[in-house]
Homo-oligomer: A and B are copies of this chain.
Amino acid sequence: MNSYEKLLEFQKVKNSRLCVGLDTDINKLPSPFAKNIDSILDFNAEIIDSTIEHASAYKINFAFYEQYGSKGFEIIKETINLIKDKAFVIADAKRGDIGNTSEAYAKSVYEYFDADSITVAPYMGEDSIIPFLKYDDKMTFILALTSNSGSNDFQRLEINNKPLFMHVIEKSLTWGNEKNIGFVTGATHPSDIELIREFIPNYVLLLPGVGAQGANIERLMIANNNGPCIINASRGVIYAGTGENYKHFVNLKANYYKSEFNKYII
């Protein structure tokens, strides 16, 4: 089964578009955990355990682990091992470099870590993306319009009456297909998502920005118009509880998001 089929299967079986973002930060761990690096994997394991019935995907934010160097990289590997076969795994690494270097990044994420998918930055163009797409059984999510305020700086610049992010999407369609590429489009921009959805109704959109970043779920889901998507919440789910009983609140919050999204899916 390729990554694309795996994603659809997990979403169907769990009746959920929810992706839980494992942006694990030792300073925010609930009270049962010591605030040190050894707690990270234990916390991730408990979060996965509390959310696995509601989450069809997990997104590992590489930066949060890389700040601890090689030990952090080990924790990524072990966390992915915990999720594999139970949900879709997104390596949120925003990689991209010249061809021979992107090949090595693709090897890292798709072979060493064995993730189902990765996020990649498009600025360096075709030869920076193609090495990821050569892993045709995986899904590569290309940044289009990101959820942050900085998305206004370059992504919205207009070229021939079209913003840069639409050029990125158009060009990317010449490199891959609905099964091996998808696009990152911030859930914080519903009116843009509506236009993107019209243009690419069948491509999977990875939609971060729900929860701590404050995206409006109703507007998002209407804009997405039932298209294939993965909706990510990170801090809003994993830090839902602060005390002994945190797992209960984390589970409730995952269920809440799953159900909210489903209200708008026909």
Chain B residue nearest to A102 (CB atoms) is B63
Given the interface pairs A125-B151, A159-B159, the reply to whether A67 lies near B108 with Cβ below 8 Å is yes
B124 touches A148 (CB 8 A): yes
Chain B residue nearest to A121 (CB atoms) is B121
B70 touches A71 (CB 8 A): yes
Cβ of A107 within 8 Å of any chain B Cβ, yes or no, is yes
Cβ of A128 within 8 Å of any chain B Cβ, yes or no, is yes
Highest count of chain B CB atoms <10 Å: which of A99, A101, A159? A101
Residues from chain B with Cβ under 8 Å of A98 in the complex: 146-148, 150
Cβ of A255 within 8 Å of any chain B Cβ, yes or no, is no
In the complex, A74 Cα to B68 Cα: how many Å?
A: 11
A128 touches B108 (CB 8 A): no
Given the interface pairs A63-B102, A63-B105, A63-B108, the reply to whether A70 lies near B73 with Cβ below 8 Å is yes
A171 touches B147 (CB 8 A): no
Which A residues, 189 to 204, have Cβ-Cβ distances below 8 Å to chain B? none
Which A residues, 106 to 134, have Cβ-Cβ distances below 8 Å to chain B? 107-108, 111-113, 121-129
Residues from chain B with Cβ under 8 Å of A94 in the complex: 95-97, 121, 124
In the complex, A153 Cα to B126 Cα: how many Å?
A: 7
Residues from chain B with Cβ under 8 Å of A126 in the complex: 149-150, 153
Residues from chain B with Cβ under 8 Å of A150 in the complex: 98-99, 124-129
Chain B residue nearest to A130 (CB atoms) is B150
A142 to chain B, nearest CB (A): 10
Residues from chain B with Cβ under 8 Å of A262 in the complex: none
B168 touches A154 (CB 8 A): yes
Cβ of A39 within 8 Å of any chain B Cβ, yes or no, is no
Residues from chain B with Cβ under 8 Å of A108 in the complex: 63, 66-69, 72
Q: Which 8 pairs between the two chains have the least Cβ-Cβ distance?
A: A125-B150, A125-B153, A63-B104, A70-B73, A66-B108, A98-B148, A67-B107, A70-B74
A94-B121, A98-B147, A123-B143 given. 19 additional CB < 8 A pairs?
A: A61-B101, A63-B101, A63-B104, A66-B73, A67-B107, A67-B111, A67-B112, A68-B112, A69-B108, A70-B71, A70-B73, A98-B146, A98-B150, A122-B123, A123-B123, A125-B148, A128-B150, A157-B167, A164-B164
